[in-house]
């Protein structure tokens, strides 16, 4: 059977000009990608081993930039803030998204409206999402302050306070991305086979038993993929922070992407920033590949 | 009865959480700055469209919108054509050394790397080519990003279409490329649509590269232009809110219009 398909594929390829066809079809895409992604990637690696002044390389410093990162208190802080932000946001999104997906699994009136409305947060331009939350958090013009004053309270301080600003950022991310989690998990739930659940109902299993013994184990692969996708994405979060807090107050919401951007464009340390970004890229790739391996193990068992 | 009440309550709560922030954005955009900062009203007492007018007369939002539309259109269109061909080659041909599979894996790896990693070198590249602050610079960058996931998404759509249909067309005298163009491509249309929609969303909303690569209304896109309104000291809340509405409106309308395809594109891959 295997050989049969293989032979057919060769036969399909034909002769003459058709032999060159796959290469001709792959070439334009590869050329664009090589020019605009791969060349810069290589160039970035090169830049990361150099010291720059006023935007031009002045000397080769080998791996010094990379070594320096791990004794840079600001980088370590940014990394810690990023890890906290990603872990907190993604786990909240997974729990809320899963709960909402279970809730929406049974068709009822109003569910289409709910699904439509839930699309809005994740398609709105991230910059605008950040503006929305600035308008909510602002101590003079914000919704929270307006509400508090309407109820006789005073101004609410969110973005001026370190802890509140960080929580405010997490809330923004949860508002924006729980819907995606919800959609992926709902699609997953809807694709589960019916038979085990009917059998469980015949056996008289309670809702919690069904969830713990059937739904959750069967949903584990989908849940894992959704979490991995969100984690990779959240690691690169930039727009929302840039507009909402610019990393402040102090360094409370300064994610690695923001620190890298400032290093490159504000402090003009091109080589050091390149090393920082390469390091982030490696971390995310390592994360992705270990996640893929983990998934294969789940699939196999 | 009790579950019904719980359902209604939960639904209303979720709707409120999603919609209240958006209500506040729209409502702020209809107030004057005086009303926003001094009176702190919960809805616009003296509604005005001044903020919107100012965006277009004083703040060049007309240019930002044009730039966004041009850049999004070209980078998505080019990536779709180029990506569809590449995806088809990977899905259907068996090349020496399993080259097509390696190319596919390579593009997927590029897709996983966060774009921020190549921000600096792309900036340096555009600087040396004199493409900073130009449509072409943005189009080239976005096209490349779009190609990686267009190939990856469309490959799986092409795989779903039976080879036999193409074989039949070729027996009837079509060339290989003719069979692709006349048979497979139309059959993959829903998949192409889902891919295109996703690409439009991502491209229209992109901010980081627009921030680094553009500096004037000549090439600034909507998200980039909106961010220029955010001053560090005095903040023009009214303009900011109006800019938020204008910036988000095209893409939200677009998304609601193509909702079904969108959900398919967003959730695919994860469930497979």
Q: What's the rounded Cα separation, in Å, for the pair A220 and A225?
A: 9
Length of chain A: 301
Q: Does any domain span residue A106? A: yes
Question: Do residues A113 and A27 both lie within one domain?
Answer: no
Half-sphere exposure of A26 (CA within 13 A, CB side): 23
Return residues 59-88 of A near B (CB < 8 Å).
none
Query: What's the rounded mean pLDDT across residues A272-292?
Result: 87
Q: Look at residue B265 in the predicted model and tell me its pLDDT.
A: 66
Q: What percent of chain B has pLDDT over 70?
A: 94
Question: Do residues A190 and A94 both lie within one domain?
Answer: yes
- Judge whether A181 and A98 are in contact, CB under 8 Å: yes
- pLDDT-derived band of residue A255, with 50, 70 and 90 as boundaries? very high
Please tell me the distance in Å from B198's CA to the nearest CA on chain A. 10
CB of B139 within 8 Å of a chain A CB? The answer is no
Q: Look at residue A297 in the predicted model and tell me its pLDDT.
A: 76
Q: Look at residue B263 in the predicted model and tell me its pLDDT.
A: 72
- Judge whether A179 and B262 are in contact, CB under 8 Å: no
Cross-chain Cβ contact B205/A125 below 8 Å? yes
> Which residue in chain B is spatially nearest to A43 when comparing CA positions?
B121
Question: Do residues A277 and A173 both lie within one domain?
Answer: yes
Q: Look at residue B240 in the predicted model and tell me its pLDDT.
A: 87
Q: Look at residue A179 in the predicted model and tell me its pLDDT.
A: 92
Cross-chain Cβ contact B263/A26 below 8 Å? no
In 3D space, the residue among B236, B201, B206 whose CA is nearest the CA of residue B221 turns out to be: B206
Q: Look at residue A157 in the predicted model and tell me its pLDDT.
A: 81
- pLDDT-derived band of residue A1, with 50, 70 and 90 as boundaries? very low
Question: Do residues A282 and A164 both lie within one domain?
Answer: yes
Secondary element (H or E) of residue A116:
helix A111-123
Provide the residue range defining the domain that includes A254: 65-300
Question: Do residues A40 and A69 both lie within one domain?
Answer: no
Question: Do residues A149 and A193 both lie within one domain?
Answer: yes
Q: Look at residue B68 in the predicted model and tell me its pLDDT.
A: 93
Q: Look at residue B135 in the predicted model and tell me its pLDDT.
A: 93
Please tell me the distance in Å from B54's CA to the nearest CA on chain A. 18
- pLDDT-derived band of residue B271, with 50, 70 and 90 as boundaries? low
Return residues 212-271 of B near A (CB < 8 Å).
212, 222-223, 226-227, 230, 235, 237, 240-241, 243-244, 247-248, 251-252, 255-256, 259, 262-263, 266-267, 269-271
Question: Do residues A276 and A159 both lie within one domain?
Answer: yes
Report the CATH number at residue A160. 1.10.3720.10
Q: What's the rounded Cα separation, in Å, for the pair B267 and B197?
A: 13
- pLDDT of A105 higher than 50: yes
Question: Do residues A141 and A278 both lie within one domain?
Answer: yes
Secondary element (H or E) of residue A289:
helix A270-300
Q: Look at residue A14 in the predicted model and tell me its pLDDT.
A: 53
What digits encode the pLDDT tens for the residues B170-202?
A: 887 778 788 888 888 888 888 888 888 888 989
pTM above 0.90, yes or no: no
Burial code of B83-122, b = ≥16 C-beta within 10 A, e = fewer?
Answer: bbbbbbbbbbbebeeebbeebbeebeebbbbbbbbbbbbb
Q: Look at residue B272 in the predicted model and tell me its pLDDT.
A: 46
Q: Does any domain span residue A259? A: yes
What digits encode the pLDDT tens for the residues B91-129?
A: 877 777 777 788 888 888 888 888 888 898 899 889 889
Q: Does any domain span residue A232? A: yes
Tell me what ipTM this predicted complex has: 0.87
Q: Look at residue A128 in the predicted model and tell me its pLDDT.
A: 92
Q: Does any domain span residue A60? A: no
- pLDDT-derived band of residue A5, with 50, 70 and 90 as boundaries? low
Q: What percent of chain B has pLDDT over 90?
A: 22
Our count of domains for chain A comes to 2
Cβ-Cβ pairs closer than 8 A, A with B, add up to: 290
- pLDDT of B140 higher than 60: yes
Ranking A21-30, A169-178, B33-42, B203-212 by mean pLDDT, the lowest is B33-42
Q: Does any domain span residue A289? A: yes
Residue A22 is nearest to which of B78, B93, B267, comparing CB atoms?
B93
- pLDDT-derived band of residue A212, with 50, 70 and 90 as boundaries? confident
Ranking A33-37, B131-135, B266-270 by mean pLDDT, the lowest is B266-270
- pLDDT-derived band of residue B270, with 50, 70 and 90 as boundaries? low
- pLDDT-derived band of residue B232, with 50, 70 and 90 as boundaries? low
Cross-chain Cβ contact B145/A37 below 8 Å? yes
Q: Does any domain span residue A84? A: yes
- pLDDT of B259 higher than 60: yes
- Judge whether B14 and B6 are in contact, CB under 8 Å: no
Question: Do residues A120 and A232 both lie within one domain?
Answer: yes
Residue B117 is nearest to which of A116, A132, A281, comparing CB atoms?
A281
Q: What's the rounded Cα separation, in Å, for the pair B79 and A152?
A: 55
Residue B259 is nearest to which of A10, A21, A116, comparing CB atoms?
A116
- pLDDT of A240 higher than 70: yes
- pLDDT of A167 higher than 90: yes
Question: Do residues A42 and A74 both lie within one domain?
Answer: no
Q: What's the rounded Cα separation, in Å, for the pair A135 and A172?
A: 12
Question: Do residues A10 and A114 both lie within one domain?
Answer: no
Q: What's the rounded Cα separation, in Å, for the pair A38 and B137?
A: 16
Q: Look at residue B114 in the predicted model and tell me its pLDDT.
A: 83
Question: Do residues A28 and A144 both lie within one domain?
Answer: no
Q: Does any domain span residue A54? A: no
Query: What's the rounded mean pLDDT across residues A152-181?
Result: 88
Give the number of other CB atoms < 10 A from CB of residue A94.
19
Which tokens in the block code for residue B68? 């966004």
Beta-carbon contacts of residue A216 (< 8 Å; ≥ 6 apart): none
Domains of chain B: 21-36+49-267 (1.10.3720.10)
- Judge whether A146 and A61 are in contact, CB under 8 Å: no
Calculate the average pLDDT of chain A.
83
Query: What's the rounded mean pLDDT across residues B236-253?
Result: 87
- pLDDT of A130 higher than 90: yes
Q: What's the rounded Cα separation, in Å, for the pair B237 and B242?
A: 9
- pLDDT-derived band of residue A207, with 50, 70 and 90 as boundaries? confident
Prior bond to A249 cis, omega within 30? yes
Q: Look at residue A300 in the predicted model and tell me its pLDDT.
A: 64
Query: What's the rounded mean pLDDT across residues B13-42?
Result: 84
- pLDDT of A8 higher than 60: no
Give A39 or A15, the one with higher predicted confidence: A39
Q: Does any domain span residue A100? A: yes
Give B209 or A267, the one with higher predicted confidence: B209
CB of B2 within 8 Å of a chain A CB? The answer is no
Cross-chain Cβ contact A9/B28 below 8 Å? no
Query: What's the rounded mean pLDDT across residues A220-233?
Result: 86
- pLDDT-derived band of residue A236, with 50, 70 and 90 as boundaries? confident
Q: What's the rounded Cα separation, in Å, for the pair A191 and A215?
A: 11
CB of B197 within 8 Å of a chain A CB? The answer is no
Q: Look at residue A220 in the predicted model and tell me its pLDDT.
A: 85
Burial code of B169-203, b = ≥16 C-beta within 10 A, e = fewer?
Answer: bbeeebbbeebbbebbbebbeebbbbbbbbbbbbb
């Amino acid at each position: 059977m295997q050989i049969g398909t293989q032979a057919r594929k060769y036969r399909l390829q034909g002769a003459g000009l058709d032999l060159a066809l796959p290469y001709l079809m792959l070439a334009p895409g590869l050329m664009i990608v090589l020019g605009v992604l791969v060349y810069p990637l290589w160039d970035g690696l090169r830049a990361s081993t150099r010291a720059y002044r006023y935007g031009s390389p002045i000397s080769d410093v080998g791996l010094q930039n990379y070594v320096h990162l791990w004794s840079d208190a600001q980088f370590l802080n940014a990394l810690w803030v990023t890890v906290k932000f990603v872990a907190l946001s993604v786990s909240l999104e997974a729990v809320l998204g899963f709960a909402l997906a279970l809730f929406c699994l049974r068709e009822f009136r109003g569910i289409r409206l709910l699904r439509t409305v839930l699309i809005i947060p994740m398609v709105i331009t991230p910059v605008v999402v950040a503006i929305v939350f600035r308008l909510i958090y602002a101590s003079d013009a914000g919704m929270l302050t307006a509400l508090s004053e309407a109820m006789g309270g005073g101004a609410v301080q969110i973005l001026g306070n370190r802890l509140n600003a960080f929580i405010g950022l997490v809330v923004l991310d949860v508002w924006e991305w729980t819907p995606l989690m919800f959609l992926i998990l709902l699609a997953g739930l809807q694709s589960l086979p019916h038979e085990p659940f009917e059998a469980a109902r015949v056996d008289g299993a309670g809702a919690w038993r069904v969830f713990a013994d059937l739904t959750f184990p069967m949903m584990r692969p989908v849940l894992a993929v959704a979490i991995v996708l969100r984690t990779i994405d959240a690691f690169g979060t930039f727009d929302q922070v840039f507009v909402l807090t610019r990393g402040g107050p102090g360094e409370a919401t300064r994610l690695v992407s923001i620190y890298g951007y400032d290093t490159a464009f504000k402090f003009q340390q091109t080589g050091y920033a390149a090393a920082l970004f390469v390091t982030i890229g490696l971390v995310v790739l390592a994360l992705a590949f270990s996640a893929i391996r983990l998934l294969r193990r789940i699939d196999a068992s | 009865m009790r579950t019904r009440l719980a359902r209604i309550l939960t639904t209303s709560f979720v709707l409120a959480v999603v919609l209240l922030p958006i209500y506040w954005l729209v409502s702020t955009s209809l107030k004057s700055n005086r009303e926003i900062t001094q009176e702190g009203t919960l809805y616009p007492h003296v509604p005005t469209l001044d903020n919107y007018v100012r965006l277009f007369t004083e703040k060049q939002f007309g240019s930002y919108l044009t730039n966004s539309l041009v850049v999004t259109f070209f980078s998505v269109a080019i990536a779709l054509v180029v990506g569809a061909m590449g995806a088809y080659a990977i899905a259907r041909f068996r090349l020496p050394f399993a080259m097509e599979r390696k190319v596919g894996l390579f593009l997927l790896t590029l897709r996983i790397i966060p774009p921020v990693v190549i921000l600096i070198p792309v900036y340096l590249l555009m600087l040396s080519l004199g493409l900073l602050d130009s449509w072409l610079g943005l189009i080239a960058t976005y096209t490349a990003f779009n190609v990686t996931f267009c190939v990856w998404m469309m490959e799986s759509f092409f795989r779903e279409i039976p080879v036999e249909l193409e074989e039949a067309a070729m027996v009837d005298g079509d060339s290989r490329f003719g069979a692709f163009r006349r048979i497979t491509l139309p059959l993959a249309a829903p998949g192409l649509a889902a891919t295109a929609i996703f690409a439009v969303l991502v491209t229209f909303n992109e901010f980081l590269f627009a921030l680094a690569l553009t500096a004037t209304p000549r090439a600034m896109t909507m998200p980039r232009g909106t961010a220029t309104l955010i001053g560090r000291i005095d903040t023009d809340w009214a303009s900011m809110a109006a800019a938020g509405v204008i910036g988000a409106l095209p893409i939200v309308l677009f998304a609601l219009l193509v909702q079904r395809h969108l959900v398919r594109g967003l959730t695919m891959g994860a469930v497979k």
